[in-house]
Amino acid sequence: MSAATGHKRDYSLTGPERLRAMEKGLASAQWYTSPIPRKRLKELMQRRNGPAIRDTLIWFALLIGTGVLAFYSWGTWWSIPAFFIYGILYASPGDSRWHECGHGTAFKTPWMNEVIYQIASFMVLRPATPWRWSHTRHHTDTFIVGLDPEIAQPRPPVWRIILMEFLHLYGGPKDIKRMILHCFGIVDKEQRTYLPESEFRKTFWESRVYVLIFLSVIGLCLYAGSILPAMFIVLPSFYGVSLMLTFGLVQHLGLHEDVLDHRLNTRTIYMNPVFRFLYWNMNYHIEHHMFPMVPYHALPKLHEELKPDFPKPNRSVWETVKEVMIALIRQGKDPSYTIQRVLPATAQPYKYRPTSEEREVTDTMGRAL
Amino acid sequence: MLLEGWIYVCEADAIDEEDVIRFDSGSRSFAIYRSEDNDYYATDGFCTHEKVHLAEGLVMGDIIECPKHNGRFNYKTGQAKKTPACEHLTTYPVQVTDDGKVYIQID
Ligand code: FES
Residue B92 distance to chain A (closest CA, Å): 20
Q: What is the pLDDT of residue A367?
A: 42
- What integer pLDDT is reported at residue B76 of this predicted model? 97
Computed over every residue of chain B, the mean pLDDT equals 94
Around ligand 1, the residues with Cβ closer than 6 Å are: B 47, 49-50, 52, 66, 68-69, 71, 84-85
Q: Could you tell which of B50, B51, B65 is best to mutate to test the pocket of ligand 1, judged by most ligand atoms within 8 Å of the CB?
A: B50
Q: Residue A4 — pLDDT band, cuts 50, 70, 90?
A: very low
- Convert the pLDDT of each residue in A226-252 to its tens digit: 999 999 999 999 999 999 999 999 999
- Measured in degrees and rounded to the nearest 5, phi and psi for residue B72 equal -130, 150
Encode pLDDT of A316-335 as tens digits: 999 999 999 999 999 999 99
Residue A125 Cα distances to A138, A178, A200, A321, A356, angstroms: 18, 11, 18, 25, 42
pLDDT at position A366, please? 46
- Condensed to tens digits (0 to 9), the pLDDT of residues A131-168 reads 999 999 999 999 999 999 999 999 999 999 999 999 99
Q: Which of A362, A129, A260 is nearest to B50 (CA)?
A: A362
Give A110's contacts in chain B (Cβ within 8 Å): 82
Output the furthest CA–CA distance in chain A (Å, rounded).
67
**pLDDT at residue A364 in the model:** 41
Q: What is the pLDDT of residue A334?
A: 96
Whether pTM exceeds 0.80: yes
CB contact under 8 A, B84 and A132: yes
pLDDT single digits (tens) A112-124? 999 999 999 999 9
Q: What is the mean pLDDT of residues A327-354?
A: 96
Contact between A66 and A86 (Cβ < 8 Å): yes
**B83–A199 CB contact, under 8 Å:** yes
**Closest atom of ligand 1 to CA, residue B67:** 2
Q: State the ipTM, two decimals.
A: 0.90
- Is the distance from CB of A105 to CB of A82 less than 8 angstroms? no
Question: Are A110 and B82 an interchain contact pair (Cβ–Cβ within 8 Å)?
Answer: yes
Position A355 confidence tier, pLDDT thresholds 50, 70, 90 = confident
Q: Angle CA(A295)–CA(A299)–CA(A304) in degrees, nearest 5?
A: 150
Range A204-222 average pLDDT: 97
**Backbone dihedral angles phi then psi of residue A187, each to the nearest 5 degrees:** -120, 130
Q: How far apart (Å, rounded) are the C-alpha atoms in residues A80 and A90?
A: 15
Q: What is the percentage of chain A residues whose pLDDT exceeds 70?
A: 95
Conformational region of residue B77, where left means phi above 0, alpha means psi within -120 to 50, and beta covers everything else = alpha
Q: What is the pLDDT of residues A244-300, one digit of tens each?
A: 999 999 999 999 999 999 999 999 999 999 999 999 999 999 999 999 999 999 999
Q: Give the atom of ligand 1 at the shortest distance from the alpha carbon of B85.
A: 3
